[in-house]
Amino acid sequence: MTALGKLFRTTAFKLSLAFLVLSAIGAGLVLTVVAWQVEALVDEETARTIEAEATGLAEQYGQGGIRQLGLVIEARSREPGSSLYLLTDYAGQPLAGNVARLPQGVLDRPGFVETQYETVGETTNDRHALAKIFLLPSGFRLLVGHDLRDRARIGGVMVHALAISLIFLAALGALGGLFVARRVLRRIDAMSNSAQAIMAGDMSQRLAVIGSGDELDRLALNLNEMLGRIDELMAGLREVTDNIAHDLRTPLTRLRNHAEAALRLEGDKSDYRAALERTIEESDGLIKVFNALLMIARAEAGTERAGMSEFDLGQAARGIADLYEPVADEAGVALHVDIEPGLRIMGNRELIGQTIANLLDNALKYGAPTPSEPRALLPVSSSSVQEKSDAVAAPGAAPADVALSVRRVGAGIEVAVADHGPGIAAADRLRVFGRFVRLEGARSRPGSGLGLSLASAVARMHGGAVRLADNGPGLRVVLALPARPATLSEAAIPRLEPPR
């Protein structure tokens, strides 16, 4: 039952059944109309024959009166397959012809009539004829008629044709429905098997796409895209957990060591105080890293979307520049600000502000021309770094300056932070977006290695991107954002509520 029951419940089966019923009704209607038309045609033909015979008989009557008419009728009646004739006198007594009996009163009304009849020597009464009655002088009556067997036969042929065509229709419909149902069913079953495998934990599985471009293919493509997105989010989540496990372990260990050292301490109150203060400082650093990680993860998942509003990006950037201006001043760095007015975007002002702050912070920290601290990853061959270092190591190098600009570029807005520091070697430019990646020169300075990761996550959340470029010499970080709201497809990402 199950396989058959499943088939009966499928949409394909129901659809083919409906089509079958509809086409049967259609075929029946067509055949009925054709039958009607043919019958009308037969009737017309019969009537014309009757009229022609009557004309002939009228001529005979004109020539030889009732006697000759009687003789002609007798003669014609005996011919095989002849028409029907009946000649009666004024009292209704038959004088000549091959019709033995008629229903009462048929002969009373002249003109065409459809009637039952019996021929001479027959007893059946289900013979039907189309006949015309003529009134002759002196009360004689003449009936000329034609059997309707042909018409009935045509009707029979039609019914037969209908029956046969219905059988063919049913067979074809059932086969077609079965074929479609099986084909569609098999693909849907395959999809649901894949889905089960994915649910069981094999996230690498994808739904089969056969390349026909039909609805099922499109569905599979869309679902695959969704699975890809889920996969990405899960990978991000995994990365965060891995990072928390690996990179928070070091500061946690340090924190624990401080506390232990304080316990072993044999000093006075102020020593304990100092130890505790260091412990708190250490834990504050941890909290900061933790918050940054969370913020990156949430920006990547698109869950900060609720905080989106329209705001003036230039003004926000100016606010941040204003915040950092004294810091730059103190560090002896000239901060140039170049902001185009009226650049509004739809976004999370808080996150974008923080991103710009991070970029400025980086530029102020690492952007000074200090060749002793080139920014490069440890394993990278030092040649490219060396070049850069040489370029800025020249005595009397350009005074430290950092430029912040916000400009419309094409359909988007670009926020650029440029410095004249040692820059980042082209080989490292992709790597620095990874979480906790800190280049060699930066390791000795405070920072978490999360700034660019956050920038990149925030940019992507807004449908933009971050790119690193050579500022010849130095680094130019460009945060490119679309001027209009983030794309619809991204807005459709469901919100992930944090667990309570």
Residues in the site for another protein, rule: CB under 8 A?
Answer: 277, 280, 283-284, 287-288, 291, 294-295, 298, 303-304, 306-307, 319-320, 322-324, 326-327, 330, 348, 350-351, 353-354, 357-358, 361, 364-365, 446-447, 451, 498, 500
Cα of 109 vs its chain's centroid, Å: 74
The minimum distance between CB 192 and another protein, in angstroms, equals 37
Report in angstroms how near the CB of residue 306 gets to another protein at its nearest.
Answer: 4
Q: How far is the CB of 350 from another protein (least distance, A)?
A: 5
State which residue, 76 or 462, has the beta carbon closest to another protein: 462
How many residues does this entry show for the chain?
500
CB of 360 to another protein, least distance (A): 9
How far apart, in Å, are the Cα atoms of 73 and each of 25, 40, 128, 133, 340? Answer: 48, 28, 20, 15, 116
Question: What span, in angstroms and rounded, lies between the C-alpha atoms of 358 and 269?
Answer: 38
Shorter beta-carbon distance to another protein: residue 87 or 351: 351
Question: CB-wise, 53 or 304, nearer to another protein?
Answer: 304
Give least dist CB 235 to another protein, A. Answer: 21
User: Nearer to another protein by C-beta: 9 or 500?
Assistant: 500
Q: Tell me the sheet residues that pair with 115.
A: 129
| CA quadruple 101, 105, 109, 115: dihedral, nearest 10 | -50
What are 10-14's contacts with CB under 8 Å, separation 24+? 10/181, 10/184, 10/185, 11/184, 12/177, 12/180, 12/181, 12/184, 12/185, 13/177, 13/178, 13/181
For residue 445, give the DSSP letter. Answer: S
Tell me whether residue 266 or residue 330 sits nearer to another protein (CB atom).
330
Nearer to another protein, 20 or 296 (CB): 296
Half-sphere exposure of residue 452: CA atoms within 13 angstroms, side-chain side? 23
Nearest to 347 by CA among 413, 440, 419: 413
Q: How far is the CB of 436 from another protein (least distance, A)?
A: 15
Q: Which DSSP string do the residues of 260-315 spell out, in sequence order?
A: HHHHH----HHHHHHHHHHHHHHHHHHHHHHHHHHHHHHHHHTGGGGG-EEEEHHH
CA distance 429 to 466: 11
For 245, 322, 399, 476, the CA distances from 256, given in Å and listed in that order, are 16, 39, 43, 39
Calculate the CA dihedral of residues 241, 245, 247, 251 and round it to 10 degrees. Answer: 130
Q: Least CB distance from residue 480 to another protein, whole Å?
A: 22
Q: Which is nearer to another protein, 194 or 348 (CB)?
A: 348
Smallest distance, another protein to C-beta of residue 499, A: 10
Q: Rounded to the nearest 5 degrees, what angle is found at the Cα of 464, between the Cα atoms of 459 and 467?
A: 75
Residue with Cβ nearer another protein (194 or 358): 358
Looking at the Cβ atoms of 167 and 276, the one nearer to another protein is: 276
Pair type for strands 111-119 and 99-101: antiparallel
Of 241 and 291, the one with the shorter C-beta distance to another protein is: 291
Minimum distance from residue 391 beta carbon to another protein (Å): 27
Instruction: Work out how close the CB of 273 gets to another protein at its nearest, in angstroms, rounded to a whole number.
Output: 11
**Residue (133 or 316) nearer to another protein, CB:** 316
- We find the least distance from the C-beta atom of residue 183 to another protein, in angstroms, to be 48
DSSP 91-122: T--EEEESEEE--TTGGGS-EEEEEEEEETT-
Residue 309 near residue 346 (C-beta atoms within 8 A) = yes
